[in-house]
Amino acid sequence: MTPSEIVKRLDQYVIGQDEAKKTLAVAVYWHFRKSDRALADAVEVAKSNVLLIGSTGTGKTLLCETLSRILGVPFVTADATSLAQTDYVGHEIEAILQRLVDKAGGDVARAQRGVVFIDEIDKLKAASGQARAASGESVQHALLKIMEGSQVRLRSSAYIDTTHVLFICGGAFVGLDDILRDSQAFGFISLSGKESPRVLRSLNARVKPGDLRSFGLIPEFAGRLPIIARLDDLSKPMLVRIMLEPRDSIYNQFRAILRSDGVELAIDPIVFEQIAELALEYKAGARSLRGIFEGLMTDVLYVLADDPAIRRVAIGSLFEEPVYTKT
Ligand SMILES: Nc1ncnc2c1ncn2[C@@H]1O[C@H](COP(=O)(O)OP(=O)(O)O)[C@@H](O)[C@H]1O
Ligand SMILES: [Mg+2]
């Protein structure tokens, strides 16, 4: 699959985030090409792990999950903060890789070409005063080792080689824009007039290793994440689209549930706008959509269960009672 084909498939499940989709698609495309023997033998190409920057609930996990499903490679997620809370980072990392092998059905060779997503990487500050638990910095060192590629011994005493495992790190990096503004890199370049405004803009929006250092990432670690993609905060129209458009959108799911009982679910477009507005207030991206929607549907499912004669449910507003029609 080419990068553009990957993006097309991602579009079916993930709304917006075009830049992140493109960057990620190119990264995995080359990652898997590079790990093909023929190429690897010709030149030793270093692995390029990916960093996804975006607020909570903007689709970081969804993107990685969907990507690995499309590619048919094993995929696991881990949380950097829980790594920092354990006494034995080594054990925890081993457990992550073990899960990857389990996802590959015990096939170590398949697991070695899998994807590991590590979230909340921006919380790995080098904290002081932590007596027992691993400090963020030591977690970074431990992660660095497996990201560069190393042999890790598993529970089953088999070894997994992480050289061709693709690591994607994620984080919100709150306040990053302020840091970027202070460290603009290309403002001083004298222009010849031939530059593409699009290219200049994207160079200026680039996150530099120094910017990441302000979040407590050690230089070696930041250096291991050369590919950086940013996810946009979700706007109200995007939130509405998320409820409606993906193949497995919540609306489609509930319509299918009701349809299987012979009930038609009709929700006025205004309701999705209302839900999106509430979700914006909650500031958790698309994360709160499902909760609000399910709250709305709980009443409906409650009523439907008692009355098999109902053939249609119409919801005209988030703040009004649903209208039930019987045959
Ligand atoms: N861009 C998007 N397109 C479709 N659904 C999304 C998008 N962003 C978030 N979601 C929905 O919100 C939920 C949380 O998203 P997630 O990927 O876990 O966010 P993050 O990892 O960035 O915090 C997902 O289950 C998904 O249903
Ligand atoms: Mg996530």
Whether residues 154 and 287 share a domain: the answer is no
Q: What is the mean pLDDT of residues 120-129?
A: 77
Residues 243, 225 share a domain: no
pLDDT of residue 22: 95
Q: Which of 230, 256, 275 is the last residue of a domain?
A: 230
Same domain, 155 and 270: no
* Band (146; pLDDT cuts 50, 70, 90): very high
User: What pLDDT does 235 receive?
Assistant: 96
Q: How far does the centroid of ligand 1 lie from the alpha carbon of residue 81, in Å?
A: 20
Distance CA 17, CA 22 (A): 9
99-123: average pLDDT: 94
User: How would residue 213 be classed by pLDDT, with cut points 50, 70 and 90?
Assistant: confident
* pLDDT reading at 245 higher than 70: yes
pLDDT range class, residue 188, cuts 50, 70, 90: low
Q: Ligand 1: which atom is nearest the Cα of residue 52?
A: 22
Cα-to-centroid distance, 118 and ligand 1 (Å) = 15
The answer to whether the pTM exceeds 0.85 is: yes
Q: What is the DSSP letter of 46?
A: P
* Sign of the four-CA dihedral 28, 209, 96, 14: negative
CA-proximal residue: ligand 1, atom 19 (nearest): 57
225 and 141 co-located in one domain: yes
Whole-Å CA distances, 209 to 60, 158, 167, 176: 20, 35, 17, 12
Half-sphere exposure of 324 (CA within 13 A, CB side): 17
CATH of the domain at 251: 1.10.8.60
pLDDT of residue 320: 94
Examine the domain organization and report whether 217 and 244 are in the same domain.
Answer: no
7-65 pLDDT tens trace: 999 999 999 999 999 999 999 898 888 766 655 566 655 678 999 999 999 999 999 99
248-to-63, 65, 72, 84 alpha-carbon distances in Å: 14, 14, 18, 34
- pLDDT recorded at residue 31: 82
Domain match, 92 and 204 both: yes
Q: Are 202 and 250 within one domain?
A: no
Same domain, 104 and 246: no
End of a domain among 203, 230, 257? 230
Q: Do 212 and 267 sit in the same domain of this protein?
A: no
Residues 249 and 138 in one domain: no
Using a pLDDT cut of 90, give the percent of the chain over it.
67
Tell which one of 287, 288, 289, 290 to mutate to probe ligand 1, the residue whose CB is within 8 A of the most ligand atoms: 287
- Domain span at 314: 236-326
Number of domains forming the structure of the chain = 2
Q: Does one domain contain both 149 and 28?
A: yes
Residue 169 near ligand 1, beta carbon < 6 Å: no
Q: Is pLDDT of 130 > 60?
A: no
Residue 210 pLDDT class (50, 70, 90 cuts): confident
| Nearest alpha-carbon partner for 189 in 200, 177, 180, 202 | 200
Higher pLDDT, 95 or 210: 95
Cα gap 40→62, rounded to integer Å: 30
Pull the structure tokens for residue 105: 């059905």
CATH number of the domain bearing residue 63:
3.40.50.300
Show which of 176, 201, 230 is a domain's final residue.
230
DSSP 48: -
Pocket test for ligand 1, best of 7, 17, 19, 58 (most atoms within 8 A of CB): 58
Residues 256 and 315 in one domain: yes
pLDDT (0 to 100) of residue 296 = 93
**Residue 271 in contact with residue 315, Cβ under 8 Å?**
yes
- The distance in angstroms from the start CA to the end CA of the chain is 50
> Is 246 touching ligand 1 by the criterion CB < 6 Å?
yes
Whether the pLDDT of residue 299 is over 80: the answer is yes
Nearest CA to 67 out of 85, 52, 83, 81 is that of 52
pLDDT, residue 267, reads: 96
Closest C-alpha residue for ligand 1 atom 8:
59
| Average pLDDT across the chain, whole number | 88
- Mark residue 269 as left, alpha or beta (left: phi above 0; alpha: psi -120 to 50; beta: remaining): alpha
Three-state SS for 75? strand
3-state secondary structure 244-306: HCCCCCHHHHHHHHHHCCCCEEEECHHHHHHHHHHHHHHCCCCHHHHHHHHHHHHHHHHHHHH
Residue nearest atom 17 of ligand 1, based on CA coordinates: 59
Cα–Cα distances in Å, from 145 out to 90, 149, 253? 11, 6, 42
C-alpha span between 53 and 42 (Å, rounded) = 33
With beta carbons less than 8 A apart as the criterion, state whether 272 and 244 touch: yes
Residue 127, token pair as written in the block: 């904290």
Of 191-200, 223-232, 258-267, the one with minimum mean pLDDT is 191-200
